[in-house]
Protein backbone atom coordinates (compact mmCIF):
# COMPACT_ATOMS: atom_id res chain seq x y z
CA UNK A 1 0.00 0.00 0.00
CA UNK A 2 1.34 3.40 -0.95
CA UNK A 3 2.73 5.48 1.92
CA UNK A 4 0.35 8.33 1.10
CA UNK A 5 -2.63 6.11 1.96
CA UNK A 6 -0.97 4.98 5.20
CA UNK A 7 -0.39 8.59 6.14
CA UNK A 8 -4.02 9.40 5.36
CA UNK A 9 -5.23 6.57 7.58
CA UNK A 10 -3.06 7.84 10.43
CA UNK A 11 -4.29 11.41 9.99
CA UNK A 12 -7.97 10.46 9.96
CA UNK A 13 -7.61 7.68 12.53
CA UNK A 14 -9.47 5.12 10.44
CA UNK A 15 -7.46 2.03 9.46
CA UNK A 16 -8.96 -0.18 6.79
CA UNK A 17 -9.07 -3.95 6.91
CA UNK A 18 -9.50 -4.01 3.12
CA UNK A 19 -6.91 -1.57 1.76
CA UNK A 20 -8.24 -2.02 -1.77
CA UNK A 21 -11.52 -0.41 -0.69
CA UNK A 22 -9.63 2.61 0.60
CA UNK A 23 -7.76 3.05 -2.67
CA UNK A 24 -10.89 2.54 -4.75
CA UNK A 25 -12.57 5.46 -2.98
CA UNK A 26 -10.08 7.81 -4.64
CA UNK A 27 -10.19 6.42 -8.18
CA UNK A 28 -12.05 8.68 -10.59
CA UNK A 29 -13.66 7.26 -13.71
CA UNK A 30 -11.32 9.34 -15.90
CA UNK A 31 -8.29 7.53 -14.45
CA UNK A 32 -9.74 4.14 -15.41
CA UNK A 33 -10.42 5.43 -18.92
CA UNK A 34 -6.69 6.09 -19.31
CA UNK A 35 -5.61 2.95 -17.44
CA UNK A 36 -7.91 0.37 -18.97
CA UNK A 37 -5.60 -2.56 -18.15
CA UNK A 38 -5.02 -1.57 -14.53
CA UNK A 39 -7.56 -4.02 -13.14
CA UNK A 40 -8.83 -1.25 -10.87
CA UNK A 41 -12.43 -0.10 -10.37
CA UNK A 42 -13.59 3.52 -10.12
CA UNK A 43 -15.39 4.86 -7.07
CA UNK A 44 -18.90 5.51 -8.39
CA UNK A 45 -20.57 2.51 -6.72
CA UNK A 46 -18.96 3.48 -3.41
CA UNK A 47 -20.19 7.03 -3.95
CA UNK A 48 -23.74 5.74 -4.48
CA UNK A 49 -23.60 3.89 -1.18
CA UNK A 50 -21.89 6.69 0.71
CA UNK A 51 -24.45 9.23 -0.45
CA UNK A 52 -27.22 7.20 1.20
CA UNK A 53 -25.25 6.81 4.43
CA UNK A 54 -24.45 10.52 4.43
CA UNK A 55 -28.09 11.54 4.01
CA UNK A 56 -29.20 9.32 6.89
CA UNK A 57 -26.45 10.54 9.23
CA UNK A 58 -27.05 14.21 8.44
CA UNK A 59 -30.84 13.85 8.73
CA UNK A 60 -30.56 12.07 12.09
CA UNK A 61 -28.08 14.69 13.35
CA UNK A 62 -30.26 17.66 12.38
CA UNK A 63 -33.45 16.06 13.70
CA UNK A 64 -31.87 15.59 17.13
CA UNK A 65 -29.87 18.84 17.26
CA UNK A 66 -32.79 21.12 16.36
CA UNK A 67 -35.91 19.59 17.97
CA UNK A 68 -38.02 22.73 17.57
CA UNK A 69 -37.13 23.49 13.93
CA UNK A 70 -39.78 22.73 11.31
CA UNK A 71 -39.31 20.17 8.54
CA UNK A 72 -38.94 22.77 5.78
CA UNK A 73 -36.04 24.51 7.44
CA UNK A 74 -34.40 21.21 8.42
CA UNK A 75 -34.53 20.24 4.75
CA UNK A 76 -32.83 23.52 3.83
CA UNK A 77 -30.16 22.93 6.50
CA UNK A 78 -29.51 19.45 5.13
CA UNK A 79 -29.27 20.67 1.54
CA UNK A 80 -26.72 23.30 2.55
CA UNK A 81 -24.70 20.83 4.60
CA UNK A 82 -24.41 18.22 1.85
CA UNK A 83 -23.95 20.56 -1.11
CA UNK A 84 -20.74 20.39 -3.13
CA UNK A 85 -19.10 23.45 -1.54
CA UNK A 86 -19.55 22.15 2.00
CA UNK A 87 -18.46 18.57 1.34
CA UNK A 88 -15.52 19.47 -0.91
CA UNK A 89 -14.20 21.85 1.77
CA UNK A 90 -14.26 19.00 4.27
CA UNK A 91 -12.58 16.69 1.77
CA UNK A 92 -9.77 19.20 1.20
CA UNK A 93 -9.28 19.65 4.94
CA UNK A 94 -8.95 15.88 5.28
CA UNK A 95 -6.23 15.83 2.60
CA UNK A 96 -8.24 13.94 -0.02
CA UNK A 97 -7.05 16.15 -2.86
CA UNK A 98 -3.58 14.61 -2.59
CA UNK A 99 -4.89 11.05 -2.98
CA UNK A 100 -7.08 11.44 -6.06
CA UNK A 101 -6.32 9.25 -9.06
CA UNK A 102 -7.39 11.25 -12.12
CA UNK A 103 -6.75 11.42 -15.82
CA UNK A 104 -4.10 13.91 -16.94
CA UNK A 105 -6.83 16.25 -18.15
CA UNK A 106 -8.85 16.14 -14.93
CA UNK A 107 -5.70 16.61 -12.88
CA UNK A 108 -5.17 20.02 -14.49
CA UNK A 109 -8.54 21.39 -13.38
CA UNK A 110 -8.49 22.89 -9.89
CA UNK A 111 -11.77 24.81 -10.09
CA UNK A 112 -15.42 23.84 -9.69
CA UNK A 113 -14.88 20.51 -11.43
CA UNK A 114 -12.33 19.53 -8.78
CA UNK A 115 -14.73 20.53 -6.00
CA UNK A 116 -17.36 18.28 -7.55
CA UNK A 117 -14.89 15.39 -7.74
CA UNK A 118 -13.82 15.91 -4.13
CA UNK A 119 -17.41 15.95 -2.90
CA UNK A 120 -18.08 12.68 -4.71
CA UNK A 121 -14.85 11.24 -3.32
CA UNK A 122 -15.89 12.12 0.22
CA UNK A 123 -19.11 10.19 -0.34
CA UNK A 124 -17.17 7.28 -1.83
CA UNK A 125 -14.88 7.25 1.20
CA UNK A 126 -17.88 7.17 3.52
CA UNK A 127 -19.22 4.23 1.51
CA UNK A 128 -15.87 2.47 1.79
CA UNK A 129 -15.74 3.00 5.57
CA UNK A 130 -19.30 1.68 5.87
CA UNK A 131 -18.45 -1.47 3.94
CA UNK A 132 -15.17 -2.05 5.75
CA UNK A 133 -16.19 -1.29 9.34
CA UNK A 134 -19.88 -0.50 9.55
CA UNK A 135 -22.35 2.30 10.08
CA UNK A 136 -21.11 3.59 13.44
CA UNK A 137 -17.62 4.41 12.20
CA UNK A 138 -18.99 5.91 8.97
CA UNK A 139 -21.23 8.10 11.12
CA UNK A 140 -18.25 9.16 13.24
CA UNK A 141 -16.25 10.14 10.14
CA UNK A 142 -19.10 12.35 8.96
CA UNK A 143 -19.54 13.81 12.45
CA UNK A 144 -15.83 14.58 12.83
CA UNK A 145 -15.31 16.14 9.41
CA UNK A 146 -18.60 17.58 8.14
CA UNK A 147 -21.33 18.18 10.69
CA UNK A 148 -19.62 21.11 12.40
CA UNK A 149 -20.09 23.05 9.15
CA UNK A 150 -23.71 23.58 10.17
CA UNK A 151 -22.73 26.28 12.68
CA UNK A 152 -21.22 28.49 9.97
CA UNK A 153 -24.03 27.68 7.56
CA UNK A 154 -26.64 28.93 10.02
CA UNK A 155 -24.55 31.91 11.15
CA UNK A 156 -23.97 33.05 7.55
CA UNK A 157 -27.54 32.30 6.48
CA UNK A 158 -26.19 30.31 3.54
CA UNK A 159 -28.78 27.57 4.15
CA UNK A 160 -31.39 29.89 2.70
CA UNK A 161 -31.86 30.58 -0.99
CA UNK A 162 -31.58 34.36 -0.86
CA UNK A 163 -33.60 35.05 -4.03
CA UNK A 164 -36.53 32.90 -2.94
CA UNK A 165 -36.56 34.31 0.56
CA UNK A 166 -36.29 37.96 -0.44
CA UNK A 167 -39.18 37.44 -2.89
CA UNK A 168 -41.27 35.84 -0.18
CA UNK A 169 -40.63 38.71 2.24
CA UNK A 170 -41.06 41.55 -0.27
CA UNK A 171 -44.36 40.13 -1.49
CA UNK A 172 -45.55 39.61 2.08
CA UNK A 173 -44.57 43.07 3.38
CA UNK A 174 -44.61 45.34 0.33
CA UNK A 175 -46.76 43.47 -2.17
CA UNK A 176 -43.83 43.78 -4.58
CA UNK A 177 -42.02 41.12 -6.61
CA UNK A 178 -38.29 41.92 -6.74
CA UNK A 179 -36.72 42.63 -10.11
CA UNK A 180 -33.06 42.60 -11.06
CA UNK A 181 -31.22 44.88 -13.45
CA UNK A 182 -27.70 44.56 -14.82
CA UNK A 183 -25.52 47.44 -13.59
CA UNK A 184 -22.22 46.50 -15.21
CA UNK A 185 -20.31 43.65 -16.83
CA UNK A 186 -16.53 43.89 -16.94
CA UNK A 187 -13.56 41.69 -17.76
CA UNK A 188 -12.69 39.06 -20.39
CA UNK A 189 -15.23 36.37 -21.25
CA UNK A 190 -13.47 33.73 -19.16
CA UNK A 191 -13.26 35.97 -16.06
CA UNK A 192 -16.17 38.40 -16.32
CA UNK A 193 -17.61 40.12 -13.27
CA UNK A 194 -21.28 41.09 -13.21
CA UNK A 195 -22.97 43.63 -10.94
CA UNK A 196 -26.74 43.35 -10.51
CA UNK A 197 -29.14 45.67 -8.68
CA UNK A 198 -32.32 44.53 -6.95
CA UNK A 199 -35.45 46.70 -6.92
CA UNK A 200 -38.74 46.59 -5.05
CA UNK A 201 -40.94 48.45 -7.50
CA UNK A 202 -39.03 51.63 -8.39
CA UNK A 203 -36.96 51.53 -5.21
CA UNK A 204 -33.39 50.30 -5.60
CA UNK A 205 -32.51 48.23 -2.55
CA UNK A 206 -28.99 46.89 -3.04
CA UNK A 207 -26.36 45.62 -5.45
CA UNK A 208 -24.40 42.39 -5.67
CA UNK A 209 -21.59 41.00 -7.80
CA UNK A 210 -20.46 37.64 -9.08
CA UNK A 211 -18.85 35.79 -11.98
CA UNK A 212 -22.29 35.08 -13.47
CA UNK A 213 -25.56 36.99 -13.59
CA UNK A 214 -27.21 34.35 -11.42
CA UNK A 215 -24.53 34.64 -8.71
CA UNK A 216 -24.70 38.43 -8.86
CA UNK A 217 -28.47 38.23 -8.37
CA UNK A 218 -28.01 35.94 -5.37
CA UNK A 219 -25.46 38.37 -3.95
CA UNK A 220 -27.84 41.29 -4.48
CA UNK A 221 -30.68 39.37 -2.86
CA UNK A 222 -28.51 38.57 0.16
CA UNK A 223 -27.52 42.25 0.41
CA UNK A 224 -31.21 43.19 0.31
CA UNK A 225 -31.97 40.74 3.12
CA UNK A 226 -29.26 42.36 5.21
CA UNK A 227 -30.39 45.91 4.44
CA UNK A 228 -34.02 45.12 5.27
CA UNK A 229 -33.04 43.24 8.44
CA UNK A 230 -34.60 40.01 7.20
CA UNK A 231 -31.40 37.95 7.45
CA UNK A 232 -31.84 37.85 11.23
CA UNK A 233 -35.20 36.13 11.03
Q: Which residues are catalytic?
A: 51, 123
d(CA 230, CA 207): 16
Task: Report how far apart, in Å, the C-alpha atoms of 176 and of each of 179, 200, 213, 224 are.
Answer: 9, 6, 21, 14
The rounded distance, in Å, linking the Cα atoms of 161 and 163 is 6
At CA 23, angle to CA 18 and CA 24, rounded to 5?
95
C-beta of residue 190 within 8 angstroms of C-beta of residue 197? no
Q: Rounded to an integer, what distance in angstroms lies between the CA atom of residue 25 and that of residue 157?
A: 32
CA distances from 189 to 5, 112, 212 (A): 40, 17, 11
> How buried is residue 177: exposed, middle or buried, by Cβ count under 10 Å (0-12/13-18/19+)?
exposed
Amino acid sequence: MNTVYNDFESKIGVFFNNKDLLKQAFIHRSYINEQKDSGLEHNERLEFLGDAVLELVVTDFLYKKYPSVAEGRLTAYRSALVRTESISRSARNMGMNDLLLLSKGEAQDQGKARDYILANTFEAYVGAVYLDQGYDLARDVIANHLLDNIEDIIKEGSWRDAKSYVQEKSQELYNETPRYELVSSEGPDHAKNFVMAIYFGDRKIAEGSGNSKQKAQQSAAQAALTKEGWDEE
